[in-house]
Chains A and B, each alone.
Chain A
Amino acid sequence: MAEFEPVLLANVGKDESWTRRVYEETGGYQAVRKVLGKIAPKDVAETVKASGLRGRGGAGFPTGLKWTFLPQNHPGPIYFCLNADESEPGTFNNRVLMEDDPHQVLEGMMISCYATNCKTAYYFMRCEYPLAYKRTLNAIKECYAAGYLGKNIFGSDYSLDIFLHRGAGAYICGEETGLIESLEGKRAWPRIKPPFPAVEGAFRKPTVVNNVETAACVKHIFDRGVDWFKSIGVPPDPNNPRDAGSYGPKLYCLSGHINKPGCYEAPLGITVTDLIEKYGGGIWKGRKAKACIPGGISMGILKADEFHCPLDFNGPGKFGCLGLGTAAVVVMDETVQMVDYLMNSARFFSHESCGQCTPCREGTSWATKLLTRIKAGKGRLKDLDLLAEIGDTIGIMPGTTICGLADGAAWPLKNTLKKYRGELEEYIKRTNPDGWANTEPVRALQLLSIH
């Protein structure tokens, strides 16, 4: 196999890579010049559709297709929101792009806005990224000064404003309708869909929400062409009519018990083993791997003997996980106890649940309470059945909850109980040999379930 050449990260590490000067010296803002006023917006969207680009924000929805859901010949305004909220534990690829190559993101955003006939775009960034904020703000200023933003950009008859908007710390702002509510100045409560944002989004107008890495990919499709994009990754699985293929380069975030944690660019479809060995320098301290999270904490867990799992949109699903998610791989070595991992993930979701839906709000906090007690050596074997029940009932999508957070909370529970039940039972027996002594009552709750 030919050596893979990184494109998304090509400039990262260069001196002052975040300036317009360096960006343009390395070929930046050529793609947008080829597109604006020269290709019809509709055809730009068609090209993105033909490339097979799927959203990099977690759900993997085909980007060009999403754009075509906007109403035809709408009088406007149409809004574009760049989702730079990035709060999924394990995930930091957007931060790397925004800190080290903010112009790349802006160029992709310009092309995306042009394709969707949007003239006002909001760049929604979490407030925990001060450096990314500073560099992006500066990059936007540089663009206005150069006539790359504002009226008649790049000498075309197309005008575009991009406003940087800071969040205030809440994972749920990453969910697209939560993001829109937050942008509108309200609590980030996700909306019931439909209507989908493409029809009724920000300020009740048609809206596209895309991830930072997705926008960056759009730029490269116009620099290098659809054929280049499709030559990377994996074609659709012929046995799975719902698989749309996984094309293009992808940023993988490697963290946890790894020698060289970092953000690496590789083709979609690389296996966990290759990622760890070729890029991550192996497991730290010469230890053995025990498990990993394949794509952010919501996606579930892979055992070490499942590390041949390919990291494309269809891969982790074949190993009982929810999906590729954000492609953030968190590696755990043999010293990790699964009860700790479960506790950490349950605590995260109960902290971040927005509280609108009873199964999510109650289920996540119930699981946290149970796990706290188990961890403290007061667990009972039947607690594991309770946890399994919570996992099975809070996360049925679509149906009982408004957004996907509850589903994300369920997967670590479901996966761990299936793949590591023996270890959890042993922990309970070891730490609470009497079984019943000292147990505080656990609040019972009838969760909604549709079977």
Chain B
Amino acid sequence: MAERILTDEMIAEINEFVSRYPSKQAATVPALHIVNEKLRCVPRQAVVEIAQILELHPSQVQDTLTFYGYFKQDKPGGNCRVWVCRSIACALRGADELLEHMEHKLHVKAGETTADGRISLEYAECLGACEHAPCILAGDDLHKSVSQEQADKLMAGIK
């Protein structure tokens, strides 16, 4: 048997969500968030265990997981996910050039993680902060009207 991935704390947290909804399945996305936050991905074994808690078939959890690009499965993302918005308001203020600059500096393409595991660089569709275009969401921090120089500082500051 594969080794158990979900800790007792994770299970308790998931069960807290279960009580909020009339169906156990509704706790799927919260459960994926809980695991993803701790492990920076949701391995297959975790999918099986979530399915057990929620009384679902693993394929139901897997189906939901794969629909949302937010969740990774096969290997953990970097310490920090850096989302660069590429939608229209940001594009009008240089988002494409900004993303290209960052790809160049980090030696990765959007969607990849740096070799040292520090940063996962991703593009985002509208981050809902268009008044601060071009903007970047790094972890929980929104960076506003980001120039290429500011992006350099931001990338260097991530541990």
Interface residues of A (CB under 8 A from B): 77, 86-92, 94-95, 126-131, 163, 165-171, 182-188, 203, 253-257, 261-263, 293, 297, 328, 330, 332, 336, 340-341, 344-345, 348, 351-352
A257 to B89, CA, bound (A): 8
A77, A87, A262, A297: the one contacting B88 at CB < 8 Å is: A297
**Do A185 and B64 have beta carbons less than 8 Å apart?**
yes
Q: Are B23 and A330 in contact (CB under 8 A)?
A: no
- Return the 8 tightest CB-CB contacts between A and B, nearest first: A185-B28, A187-B67, A168-B68, A255-B130, A130-B140, A185-B25, A255-B89, A89-B87
Residue of A nearest to B83 (CB): A128
Interface residues in B76-106 (C-beta closer than 8 Å to A) = 83, 86-89, 91-93
Give the CA-CA distance A345 to B27 in the complex, in Å: 33
- Do the beta carbons of A129 and B68 come within 8 Å of each other? no
B120 CB, min distance to chain A CBs, angstroms: 14
Chain A residues within 8 Å of B69, by CB: 169-170
Chain A residues near B124 (CB-CB < 8 A): 128, 169
Chain B contact patch, size range = 35 or more
Minimum CB–CB distance from B16 to chain A (whole Å) comes to 11
A330–B130 contact, CB under 8 A? Answer: yes
Chain A binding surface, main DSSP class: mixed
Closest chain A CB from B55 CB (angstroms): 12
Q: Is the CB of A89 within 8 A of B88?
A: yes
Interface class of chain B by DSSP: mixed
Task: Find out whether the CB atom of A166 lies under 8 angstroms from the CB atom of B133.
Answer: no
Contact with A along B9-53 (1 / 0, CB 8 A): 000000000001111011111101100000000000000000000
Query: How many Å from the CB of B42 to the closest CB on chain A?
Result: 11
Q: Name which of B20, B29, B70, B132 has the most chain A CB atoms within 10 A of its CB.
A: B29
Q: Is B127 an interface residue (CB 8 A)?
A: yes
* B26 touches which of A89, A185, A253, A345 (Cβ 8 Å): A185
Q: How far is the CA of A183 from the CA of B71 in the complex (A)?
A: 16
A-B contact pairs, 26 of them (CB 8 A): A87-B128, A91-B126, A92-B131, A95-B129, A126-B128, A127-B70, A128-B83, A128-B127, A128-B137, A131-B142, A163-B21, A166-B33, A168-B33, A168-B70, A170-B68, A184-B23, A185-B27, A185-B28, A187-B64, A188-B67, A203-B26, A253-B130, A255-B131, A256-B92, A293-B88, A344-B86
Select one of A86, A94, A184, A261 contacting B25, CB under 8 A: A184
Q: Complex Cα distance A187/B70, Å?
A: 13
Residue of A nearest to B125 (CB): A348
Encoded as 1 (CB less than 8 Å from any A CB) or 0, chain B from 118 to 159 comes to 000000111111111100010011100000000000000000
Q: Which of B86, B89, B137, B142 contacts A90 (CB 8 A)?
A: B89
Tell me, yes or no, whether B116 is within 8 Å of chain A by CB: no
Are B29 and A182 closer than 8 Å at their CB atoms? yes
Q: Nearest A residue to B67 by beta-carbon distance?
A: A187
B89 and A165: CB pair below 8 A? no
Write out the residue numbers on chain A whose beta carbons fall within 8 Å of the beta carbon of B29.
165-168, 182, 185
Check B63 against A186 for contact (C-beta < 8 Å).
yes
Q: How far is the CB of A180 from chain B (nearest CB, A)?
A: 10
Taking the nearest CB of chain A, how far is it from the CB of B118, in angstroms? 20
Contacts A94-B128, A165-B29, A185-B27 aside, 17 further interface pairs with beta carbons under 8 A come to: A89-B89, A91-B126, A92-B128, A95-B128, A130-B137, A131-B142, A168-B68, A170-B68, A183-B26, A187-B63, A187-B67, A255-B133, A256-B88, A256-B130, A261-B133, A297-B88, A344-B87
CB distance from A327 to the nearest CB of B (A): 13
Beyond A128-B128, A184-B23, A185-B26, whether A344 also contacts B91 by CB under 8 A is yes
Chain B: minimal CB distance from A34 (Å): 29
Contact indicator B70/A169 (Cβ below 8 Å): yes
Cβ contacts under 8 Å, B60 to chain A: 185-186
> Bound state CA distance, A51 and B30, in angstroms?
37
Q: Are B92 and A336 in contact (CB under 8 A)?
A: yes
B131, A254: Cβ atoms closer than 8 Å: yes
In the bound complex, do residue B131 and residue A253 qualify as a contact, i.e. CB atoms below 8 Å apart?
Answer: yes
Kindly provide the distance from the CB of B14 to the nearest chain A CB, expressed in whole angstroms.
12
Contact of A344 among B54, B64, B88 (CB under 8 A): B88
Chain B hits for A341, CB < 8 A: 88
Across-interface contacts of B141 in A (CB, < 8 A): 130
Asked if A168 and B130 sit within 8 Å, CB to CB, the answer is no
**Does the CB pair A184–B125 fall under 8 Å?**
no
A46 and B124 alpha carbons, distance in the complex (Å) = 41
Whether B88 pairs with A186 at a CB distance below 8 angstroms is no
Q: Shortest beta-carbon distance, B23 to chain A, in Å? A: 6
Q: Which residues of A contact B68 (CB under 8 A)?
A: 167-170, 187
B133 cross-chain contacts in A, Cβ below 8 A: 255-256, 261
Residue of A nearest to B65 (CB): A168
Whole-angstrom CA separation of A87 from B127 in the bound complex: 7
Once the chains bind, are A184 and B33 in contact (CB under 8 Å)?
no
Residues of B within 8 A of A328 (CB): 130
CB pair A166 B89 closer than 8 Å: no
Docked CA distance A201–B54 (Å): 21
Nearest chain B CB to A96 CB, angstrom units: 9
CB of A256 within 8 A of CB of B89, answer yes
Q: Please give me the residue from chain B that is nearest to A126 by CB atom.
A: B128
Residues of B within 8 A of A182 (CB): 29
